[in-house]
Amino acid sequence: MYRYASFALFLAIGIAVQRSNGTEVTVKDDNDNICLYAQLMVNFSVSYEVADNKSQTVMFKLPVDVSTNGSTCDDASSTLKLNFGKGHSWSVNFTTNGKMYNADTVTFSYNLSDATIFPKSALNGTQNVTAKPQFTEVGIDTCYSCRSIDTIEGESVNQTLWNVLIQAFVSNNSKSENITSCAADMPVTTAAPTTPPTTAAPVTNSSTAPPPTTTPTPTLPTPATGRYNVKPDENSTACLMADFGLRIGLKTEEMNFEPNGTTSSGSCGVNSSQLVLVSNAVTITLTFLNDTKKFHLHALNVTGKTSSGGAFSVANTNLSLWEAAVGSSYMCNKEQNYTITEALTLYTFDLRVQPFGVKKGVFSTAEECFLDSDLSFLVPIAVGVALSFLIILVLISYLIGRRKSRTGYQSV
């Protein structure tokens, strides 16, 4: 009954998606003037030690509600410090020579005593991670903008930033309209290759030459299904299982992911689990989150080389795919395609995955995707009924209008 109600609601009002603008703050100086502006989105992936010398990985994001206590501004340097949760903070230090400014260091501090984020942590206290950000030098009275994903990788902490807009030294008490974009946002232009002039072939009086032929793009076969799992150790059964065939669609080409020769690894945690697949050409990292009731694919990172040898790296850390109840598996036998980013489309075949609650190394009862469910046949029926209703409505309107027109003529 729930699924029928959901389907009816979908037909009636569709699906609304709201995108967050992330965390937005301003810092003021001693004269109560704005001296620093920032708007950004940050995701954190932290591996920490739990009992029995094991580790698990959690993922969380910088919340919208933060405090800027500890942020400072002066003529030569400024610091943006964002405090959140139970003793966590993220800060970046800027320096200027009067004409340009740059970001020197990023410091992330996380409190392992916060059991809501780090359950069963074997350690307590605050850990600090310092890194050098990729930050283009920016002119004074200019905002730095980077919509693209930028990942700062560390030994146990990865920080993923995107939708960044920062002005470290604000003048005139307002954010500047001048923008300096990061290199990743800049359009890539490729010069057309120059070819030497060719001598035209002599014209003969024979019949008209046939039109040039084009070679059709070959259709890829259905990718082979791979079976992958993650084990806590060699003597244990799987804690994460996944079966699927994958096709990767880039702007320049499509390629099937080859399971033969692929190695799988990863980690299983209480709140997050990760599957890493490494083939000769491509490395895929899938991160799943558990909110105690349901799990879903939260992040996907794909790196590799195209058939022409060009390198690519694409990531999305804000997904909500393959959702199912914790303790069950997600299954979709039909082909599905997902737009991960503007540059990457993922196609799945014969998909079944369970990142949490695996027992005895076998899949639990599956929750089917809509395409596999018995409701999928209702889509063409619903469309047909809607069209029929529309035709009847138009016909009735026409007859009523025609009748009124005749009545008008008779009354004259």
Confirm if 326 and 293 have CB atoms less than 8 A apart: yes
Q: Give the chain's domain count.
A: 2
**379 phi and psi, to 5 degrees?**
-60, -55
Indicate whether 201 belongs to any domain. Answer: no
Asked whether residue 164 falls in the same domain as residue 239, the answer is no
Indicate whether 299 belongs to any domain. Answer: yes
H/E segment holding residue 272: strand 272-278
> What pLDDT is stored for residue 160 in this prediction?
86
**What's 308's domain CATH number?**
2.40.160.110
Single-letter amino acid, residue 375: L
Buried b (16+ CB within 10 A) or exposed e, 30-65: eeeebbbbbbbbbbbbbbbbbeeeeebbbbbbbeee
Indicate whether 405 belongs to any domain. Answer: no
Whole domain around residue 262: which residue ranges?
A: 226-375
**pTM of the full predicted structure?**
0.50
Indicate whether 2 belongs to any domain. Answer: no
300: Cα within 13 Å, side-chain hemisphere: 17
Distance of CA 203 to the CA centre of its chain: 57
Indicate whether 11 belongs to any domain. Answer: no
Asked whether residue 167 falls in the same domain as residue 264, the answer is no
- List the one residue out of 272, 279, 294, 287 whose CA is nearest residue 248: 279
Asked whether residue 255 falls in the same domain as residue 319, the answer is yes
Indicate whether 384 belongs to any domain. Answer: no
Asked whether residue 87 falls in the same domain as residue 172, the answer is yes
| Count of Cβ atoms closer than 10 Å to residue 321 Cβ | 17
Asked whether residue 174 falls in the same domain as residue 263, the answer is no
Asked whether residue 60 falls in the same domain as residue 174, the answer is yes
The per-residue pLDDT string of the chain (412 residues; one tens digit each, 9 = 90 and over) reads 333 333 333 333 332 333 345 899 999 998 999 999 999 989 888 889 988 888 888 888 899 999 999 999 998 999 999 999 999 999 999 999 999 999 999 999 999 999 999 999 999 999 999 988 888 789 999 999 988 778 888 878 888 888 899 999 998 899 999 999 887 777 654 445 555 554 444 444 444 445 555 444 567 899 999 999 999 887 889 999 999 999 999 988 999 999 998 999 988 988 889 999 999 889 999 999 998 899 999 999 998 888 888 888 888 988 999 999 999 999 999 999 999 998 999 999 999 999 999 999 999 999 999 876 655 455 566 667 778 788 888 888 777 877 766 555 554 4
Asked whether residue 131 falls in the same domain as residue 250, the answer is no
Indicate whether 71 belongs to any domain. Answer: yes
Task: Say how far apart CA 48 and CA 118 lie, in whole Å.
Answer: 8
Indicate whether 251 belongs to any domain. Answer: yes
Asked whether residue 26 falls in the same domain as residue 124, the answer is yes
